[in-house]
């Protein structure tokens, strides 16, 4: 867990002295210049804030210190959610003031690629590394298409005809599935709307771009499979036991990986977690069953350790194999509307997001109302929530017997 403290450069000085922030995390302590200064005699060391009584102007200084603290913690959380640690440069950039734009008498024309780079940079500046990564991937595919096909990509040339050529390229040259193609088209349209909203273009041809998304099969664990993981004998504190605890916490709470590894002490409110999700910035309250509360307390105490998403996914497959979660499972993909399927053992498909889907499905099977579950998971609408629902054959059979008295 990360924490921020403030220290004066010269605590005994009789003139203004700079205020430094220190971010402590994962055994490291990074010093960051805040750009703020104060007379030492006005500094409350115990509270790490400026004295406001009789000095009303110091209220603004304290607001700036609070903002710097939030920016540093947010920067840490964003990088930690990706399984990374922020560099000193990234932390310093997080609190660096942004200069106000200077009004220009004449508009400067930029290319589509320059505006795309601006969009990506804006996402990074807003501490959204995952979004920036998605945008950068979309820009890379678009550049490679332009180079491979000799198509002059610009605002005015992105039309339905462009869409036909671009989606054909993504399907056959890049070998993407229908759902990934749909994501690329959606990201491109999002960028183009962003550019149009800011007056960078008046183009409208891209509004008609589309690609049908095929709803994938949702894989979840049954209650019996979750129990098999819970009861699996493992060396306490080992890498597999650690991965199991993180995954079970996802099954018990429905939290995404990025939120699991961002849990801090201030999020724990008795027997629930109250936190703002990393992906959607929704504030959610998650009730904690006893097993979940135990894991959260171990996580806050450092007994359960955050690891990268990729490592967790690798370890989950190892866990699933040890727990004999090996029911034959079909993987269905669509490419150009053509169905492709392969069958694998269920453990081969285990991933961290399976925990969130399992939470939704098992909660429904236990009788929780969809509206209640959506409140916990932060889903705003039924359409997005429905993708997480997997009504198992056992549940269908049980409910059928209950309804018809068999």
Beta bridge partners, 42, equal none
Share of the chain above pLDDT 70, in %: 90
Segment holding 299, helix H or strand E? helix 290-300
**Contact yes or no for 329/219 (Cβ under 8 A):** yes
The angle formed by the CA atoms of residues 29, 32 and 33, to the nearest 5 degrees, is 150
Say which residue, 60 or 252, is predicted with more confidence: 252
User: Confidence class of residue 365 from pLDDT cuts 50, 70 and 90?
Assistant: confident
The stretch 363-389 carries a mean pLDDT of: 82
pLDDT at position 311, please?
A: 93
pLDDT at position 394, please?
A: 57
pLDDT at position 212, please?
A: 82
pTM exceeding 0.75? no
C-alpha count within 13 angstroms, C-beta hemisphere, residue 197 = 7
d(C-alpha 121, C-alpha 130), whole Å:
12
d(C-alpha 390, C-alpha 287), whole Å:
22
pLDDT at position 144, please?
A: 95
Query: What are the residue ranges spanned by the domains of the chain?
Result: 3-88, 112-208, 223-358
Q: Dihedral angle at the C-alpha atoms of 205, 206, 212, 215, nearest 10 degrees? A: -150
- Please report, for the chain, how many H helices and E strands are present, in that order: 15, 10
Query: Considering only CA atoms, which of 108, 111, 130, 110 is closest in space to residue 120?
Result: 130
Above 80 in pLDDT, residue 337? no
**Contact yes or no for 345/329 (Cβ under 8 A):** yes
Above 80 in pLDDT, residue 97? no
d(C-alpha 146, C-alpha 142), whole Å:
6
Q: What is the CATH superfamily name and number for domain 223-358?
A: Intergrase catalytic core (1.10.443.10)
Helix-helix angle 239-253:223-231, to 10 degrees: 150
Above 60 in pLDDT, residue 268? yes
Say which residue, 102 or 274, is predicted with more confidence: 274
Record the tokens describing residue 405, joined without a space.
């008295």
User: Confidence class of residue 306 from pLDDT cuts 50, 70 and 90?
Assistant: very high
């Amino acid at each position: 867990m990360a924490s921020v403290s403030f220290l004066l450069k010269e605590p005994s000085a009789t003139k203004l002295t700079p205020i430094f922030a220190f971010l402590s995390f994962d055994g490291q302590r990074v010093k960051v210049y805040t750009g703020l200064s104060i007379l030492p005699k006005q500094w409350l060391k115990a509270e790490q804030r400026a004295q406001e009584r009789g000095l009303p102007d110091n209220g603004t200084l304290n607001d700036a210190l609070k903002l710097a603290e939030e920016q540093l913690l947010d920067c840490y959380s964003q990088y930690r959610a990706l399984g990374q640690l922020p560099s000193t440069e990234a932390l310093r950039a997080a609190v660096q003031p942004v200069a106000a734009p200077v009004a220009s008498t004449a508009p400067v024309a930029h290319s589509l690629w320059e505006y795309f780079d601006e969009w990506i940079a804006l996402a990074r500046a807003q501490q959204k590394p995952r979004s920036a990564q998605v945008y950068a991937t979309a820009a890379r595919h678009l550049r490679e298409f332009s180079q491979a096909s000799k198509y002059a990509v610009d605002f005015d040339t992105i039309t339905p005809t462009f869409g036909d050529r671009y989606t054909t390229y993504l399907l056959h040259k890049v070998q993407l599935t229908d759902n990934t193609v749909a994501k690329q088209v959606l990201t491109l349209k999002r960028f183009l709307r962003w550019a149009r909203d800011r007056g960078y273009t008046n183009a409208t041809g891209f509004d008609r771009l589309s690609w049908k998304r095929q709803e994938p099969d949702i894989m979840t664990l049954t209650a019996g499979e979750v129990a098999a993981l819970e009861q699996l004998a493992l060396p306490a504190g080992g890498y597999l036991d650690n991965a199991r605890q993180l995954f079970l916490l996802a099954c018990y709470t429905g939290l995404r990986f990025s939120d699991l590894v961002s849990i801090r002490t201030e999020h724990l409110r008795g027997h629930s977690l109250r936190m703002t999700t990393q992906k959607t910035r929704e504030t959610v309250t998650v009730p904690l069953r006893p097993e979940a509360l135990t894991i959260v307390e171990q996580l806050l105490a450092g007994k359960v350790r955050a690891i990268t998403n990729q490592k967790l996914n690798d370890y989950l497959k190892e866990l699933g194999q040890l727990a004999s979660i090996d029911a034959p499972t079909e993987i269905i993909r669509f490419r150009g509307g053509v169905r492709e399927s392969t069958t694998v053992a269920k453990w081969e498909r285990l991933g961290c997001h399976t925990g969130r889907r399992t939470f939704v499905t098992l909660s429904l099977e236990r009788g929780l109302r969809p509206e209640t579950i959506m409140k916990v998971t932060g889903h705003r609408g039924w359409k997005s929530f429905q993708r997480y629902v997997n009504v198992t054959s056992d549940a269908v059979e049980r409910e059928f017997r209950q309804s018809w008295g068999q």
